[in-house]
Amino acid sequence: MDSITHIVLGACVGEVLMDRKVGKKAILWGALAQSIPDIDFINGAWMPLTKELIAHRGITHSFFFAIFIAFFLSLVASKWHKIEAISTSKWFSFFIIEIIIHLFLDALNNYGIGWFEPFSSKRFAFNVLYVADPLFTIVPFVIFFMLIILRMDHAHRLKFARIGIFIPTIYLCFAFGNKYKVEKKIRPFITQKTNYFTAPTVLNNFYWTAVIEDSTGFNIGYQSIFGNKDFHFKHFDQNKSFIDSVHDHQEVMDLKMFSQGFYTLEKWGDTLVFNDLRFGQINGWENPHSKFAFHYFLSHPKDNELIVQRGRFAGLNYNSGKVLLSKMFDLK
């Protein structure tokens, strides 16, 4: 999930879990604990971009790291709050719960997370929530600021914090229900051996995409959870032959590993482009021929700054938002 979600939800969980003797510092500890796995952003300072893509949500998002860092933080916090006499074991329980929540939420979107690193490089991605979903975040976001402003002796402070956890939990159940509906709709198009995934589109959980592999490439379609129509797919050739001469280059091998096999290749003029399909198309609901959000320039690697972020919201405007809203609710 995005950093804001981790911070505000971590604060609400901190308020609920920690002893009131800690005061408002509990929400700050909670926000910190839920943010700490994302410390791996510093990899970009020295790693090549393709290695950084693989390393992100790797070891710092593993259960191994969660136990280690929770133990370390519990020692720091217990000494810092020696006057409050809160046990190290309670601090450890607090931090491990916060960090595990982070690991669980990050597994719900499409990037992939290495829960069992360094012992296994397998990535988990359940594609249930978009990486930033306003409806998931809005309630804990508002309550985060309420917890900062309200006095510690406010009668409903704890109740507000619980609401900040309960509402996203209900929304998450709604998202899992949507995932089930979409998976059910695409069953006629897949077999046991078919490589495919379904995922929500940008900033919502009402309009979903499905990507299904075939012998020459991938079929990509969109569907509202409220619609009764069948998916209508557009085919995209994978064009594997475009990289025959460079298939063993480290950069290409990294990208193929990162994409988990969901990739196509294109030529934009004299530029060879690698598309990771997991991040969706730019305005694919409006234009089925639109470019993919994650596109890596193999011919001009220096032009690949902010590769994951650059395409997510590109082209979003009033008209594209209006079209998306209409399709979300299956409006005519």
Percent of the chain exceeding pLDDT 70 equals: 93
What pLDDT score was predicted for residue 290?
86
Confidence check: pLDDT of 8 > 90: yes
Q: What is the residue extent of each domain of the chain?
A: 3-176, 191-328
Which pLDDT tens digit goes with each residue over 188-220? Answer: 888 888 899 999 998 899 999 999 999 999 999
Higher pLDDT, 140 or 244: 140
3-state secondary structure of 103: helix
Under 8 Å between Cβ of 13 and 98: yes
3-state secondary structure of 112: coil
What's the mean pLDDT in 165-193? 94
Confidence check: pLDDT of 39 > 70: yes
Confidence check: pLDDT of 313 > 70: no
What pLDDT score was predicted for residue 302?
67
pTM of the model: 0.91
The mean predicted confidence, pLDDT, of the chain is 90
3-state secondary structure of 216: coil
What's the mean pLDDT in 10-31? 93
Which pLDDT tens digit goes with each residue over 227-263? Answer: 777 788 999 999 999 988 777 788 899 999 999 999 9
What pLDDT score was predicted for residue 120?
94
What pLDDT score was predicted for residue 95?
98
Under 8 Å between Cβ of 165 and 140: yes
What pLDDT score was predicted for residue 314?
61
Higher pLDDT, 14 or 84: 14
Confidence check: pLDDT of 165 > 60: yes
Contacts 24+ apart (CB under 8 A), 91-96: 93/17, 94/14, 94/17, 94/18, 94/29, 94/30, 94/33, 95/29, 95/33, 95/69, 95/70, 96/66, 96/67, 96/70
Q: Which residues pair with 283 in a beta bridge?
A: none
User: Angle formed by the axes of helices 3-17 and 25-35, to 10°?
Assistant: 140
